Amino acid sequence: EMLEWFAAVFVLIAVALLWPAKRYFGFEPWPGVLLGGLGRKTARRPSRELDRCVSDPCPAAGAPAGEEPVSLICKPSALANYLLKHCVTFSNFATALTWSWRASPFLQTVFSACWPLESSVHFMREYLQLSDDGLVALDWAVAGSAHHRRRRTSSNSTSPILLVIPNSFGKITRNVLKLCQVGLAHGYLPVVFSRRSQNGTPLSTPRLQQFGDPADLREAVRYIRYRQPAGRLYAVSESTGAGLLLSYLGECGSSSYVTAAACLSPIFRCQSWFESGPPWPFRWALLLYQKACLSRYKTALGDMVQMDKLFSSCSLRALEEALFCHPALTGGWEAYWERNDPLRDVDEVAIPVLCLCSRDDPVRGAPAATLPFELFETNPHFFLLLTAQGGHCGFSTPGEEGALQWSHQALLEFFRATTDFFAAEERSKQAARRRGLGGGTNVRAFRHRSVSTCKRVPACSHNIHAIFSWQRSYTR
């Protein structure tokens, strides 16, 4: 806790004293054009270099280009039309006044990462022993006082599961806790996935999870499906945690067991991000936090990791190289990212994925260099909500009601709308088959792929008792 507060104060002082006011209050608005053909509303795409992908672009009505508070960037499709019609949150993002703290992307980022949250939500922890005897933790969010924490959720429950993947550094932020609180309030069963050695998970093997290696997450998802076979599974990732989620969705394809997914402030160009790094206040905060977490395993990892090199590293790349890149064993830095790039199998993703990003994100960097706009304009499974403000995983807007912030409301509406859309398409296909008219659907991009994710997922084919052993403990 002291380290977290030290990092927050460090960032605040650095921003207040050393950063120019222009950078402090956000980036310049980014010019863009409208993407037509998506129904009653329109979605704006910010890059003029991609005009060839859009037919008949037109300027924003009633406002100069680049000043729209939120834009939906996607490939035109029936699902996109449905989302624009039924997800009212997509168009009601309110920007903050310039004198408000919400206008600062740096304060939004620090607030979301470090500010404490008073909540009645508690967590019931399950340790999942993996096939190589490693341990990961599944923290199930439960409401109520401490004496109610031992109540288990019935395996026959039809409530949807909300799988939350924190950032790759293992920090459980205010944003993650608030998302679990909101999920419980809306009928979900939130569960936080903690990697090996992170968030108090014991390190039982001298092996850590690489940045984009989905093997551990794959076993965890299969276990969740085994414990809750009747409920649909939705996944949400935060920041660099999107690298793990996108790797999993790409590698598993239509067998991911996930109905829909969302990424809050994802980092897409991960290799470049580790090489250049975020601005130095955030870079040093991340380095200090990760070194403090790894210091307890200095002896256990001594034979596998060059600990002296790790603790003397001054960049995120040097720390990542010290942990995972041994030229004699792994092939070095370039080979490491060939195996761990989150977008390496992106064409195999078979479910709708919503990415929420802000133009003034100080951790990710400038949108033109860090956001793969061509992915969203050519792949019908990916949708980008790009806001004018919000910082990194912030998205705090003026006049928020209760505990539901804009980004959480947007992703919950996205999950509901995509589920309703494919359920309606399935009903239409069944009605057409009964009439003997074939069973075609007007959602060609999702044919034979995403519709099946809304059906009840079959039980795991393997003998789960031979692979998984688990035990429960309880968090604070």
Q: What CATH number is given to the structural domain containing 140?
A: 3.40.50.1820
Q: Are strands 469-474 and 121-129 parallel, antiparallel or unpaired?
A: antiparallel
For residue 95, what pLDDT is reported?
Answer: 78
In a domain? residue 97:
yes
Answer whether 169's CB lies under 8 Å from 286's CB. yes
CA distance 432 to 64: 46
Cα 81 from Cα 383, distance rounded (Å): 12
The parent domain of residue 220 ranges over 70-145+159-268+342-397+404-423
445 belongs to a structural domain: no
Q: Between vectors from CA 83 to CA 48 and to CA 385, what angle results, nearest 5°?
A: 40
For residue 343, what pLDDT is reported? 96
Res 368: pLDDT: 93
- CB neighbour list of residue 82: distance below 8 Å, 6 or more residues apart: 417, 421
Interior CA angle at 83 toward 79 and 84, to 5°?
A: 120
Assigned domain for 429 exists:
no
Residue 3 lies in a domain: no
Q: How many domains does the chain have?
A: 1
For residue 257, tell me if it sits in a domain.
Answer: yes
Write out the chain's pLDDT in tens, 476 residues.
Answer: 444 545 555 544 444 434 433 433 333 333 332 333 333 333 433 333 333 233 333 223 233 334 578 999 999 999 999 999 999 999 888 877 777 788 888 998 998 888 888 778 899 999 999 999 999 999 999 987 544 544 555 566 889 999 999 999 988 999 999 999 999 999 999 999 999 999 999 999 988 999 999 999 999 999 999 999 999 999 999 999 999 999 999 999 999 999 999 999 999 999 999 999 899 889 999 999 999 999 999 888 888 888 889 999 999 999 999 999 876 666 789 999 999 999 999 999 999 999 999 999 999 999 999 999 999 999 999 999 999 999 999 898 776 544 468 999 999 999 999 999 999 988 988 888 888 765 454 544 454 444 334 434 444 444 444 444 444 333 33
Report d(CA 174, CA 180) in Å as an integer: 10
Q: Which residues are catalytic, by number?
A: 361, 392
412 located within any domain: yes
| The pLDDT of residue 438 | 53
Q: What is the pLDDT of residue 102?
A: 80
Q: Is residue 99 part of a domain?
A: yes
The answer to whether residue 337 sits within a structural domain is no
**Beta-carbon neighbour count of residue 16 at 10 Å?**
12
